[in-house]
């Protein structure tokens, strides 16, 4: 087998082209392999159990989509009150890869330089991050209250046949306040 001979005058150009290809390869989205299996819309219902044992029915939905720089998680929870009223909460958070494999920073705000940054929990803002471990995407939200106590919400979304299982827990200063476990069907 004969190797292709590159004239000496073109070797610097060849080195530059190879270098550019390597740089482009390094800048490809590293999140795709982690996030792609989760992409889609899911919905279902659940019974939420509060710390006092009361139960309330909720409809839940989540949509996970890839973005240019990472991914977005949008979710909605509709609570049905005993008197017939409904309460709807909707959230949308963009995530970008961190320096750690499978760990993502919430891109909830832009600084003066246009870079995505985390919110500041010491200012009463939630500190949010996510991770993907195997078939589970977890979103954490930490809130520090005025007295220095904390609230932690954890959303584990595990891929299962036909959709995903949502396991949610809400802690306040280490004490369970609410929890839910339900199946959300892929739409």
pLDDT of 52? 86
Using CA atoms, how far apart are residues 62 and 75, in angstroms rounded to an integer? 4
Backbone angles phi, psi at 31, to 5 degrees: -80, -20
pLDDT for 33 beyond 80? no
The H or E element spanning position 23 is helix 11-26
Using CA atoms, how far apart are residues 180 and 52, in angstroms rounded to an integer? 14
Query: Across the chain, where does the E strand assignment appear?
Result: 40-50, 55-66, 71-80, 86-97, 103-106, 109-110, 116-117, 127-133, 136-144, 150-160, 163-172, 175-186
pLDDT band (50, 70, 90) for residue 124: confident
Which of 42, 51, 49, 45 has the alpha carbon at shortest distance from 78?
45
Tokens representing residue 102 in the block: 């499978």
pLDDT band (50, 70, 90) for residue 16: low
pLDDT for 181 beyond 60? yes
Residue ranges per structural domain of the chain = 32-186
pLDDT for 173 beyond 70? yes
Asked if 155 and 138 touch (Cβ cutoff 8 Å), the reply is yes
Cross-strand bridge partners of residue 66? 71
What is the CATH code for 32-186? Answer: 2.40.128.20
pLDDT for 118 beyond 80? no
Average pLDDT over residues 157-177: 96
Mean pLDDT, the chain, integer: 84
């Amino acid at each position: 087998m004969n190797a292709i001979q590159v004239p000496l005058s073109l070797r610097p150009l060849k080195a530059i082209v190879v270098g550019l290809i390597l740089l482009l390869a390094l800048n490809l989205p590293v999140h795709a392999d982690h996030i792609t299996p989760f992409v889609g819309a899911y919905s279902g219902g659940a019974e939420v159990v509060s710390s006092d044992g009361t139960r309330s029915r909720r409809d839940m939905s989540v949509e996970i989509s890839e973005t240019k720089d990472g991914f977005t998680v949008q979710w909605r929870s509709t609570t049905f009150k005993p008197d017939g009223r409904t309460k709807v909460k909707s959230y949308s958070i963009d995530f970008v890869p961190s320096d750690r494999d499978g760990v993502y920073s919430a891109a909830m705000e832009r600084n003066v330089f246009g870079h995505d940054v985390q919110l500041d929990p010491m200012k009463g803002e939630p500190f949010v991050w996510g991770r993907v471990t195997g078939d589970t995407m977890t979103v954490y939200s930490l809130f520090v209250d005025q007295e220095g106590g904390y609230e932690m919400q954890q959303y584990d979304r595990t891929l299962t046949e036909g959709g995903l299982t949502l396991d949610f827990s809400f802690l306040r200063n280490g004490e369970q306040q609410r929890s839910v476990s339900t199946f959300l069907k892929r739409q």
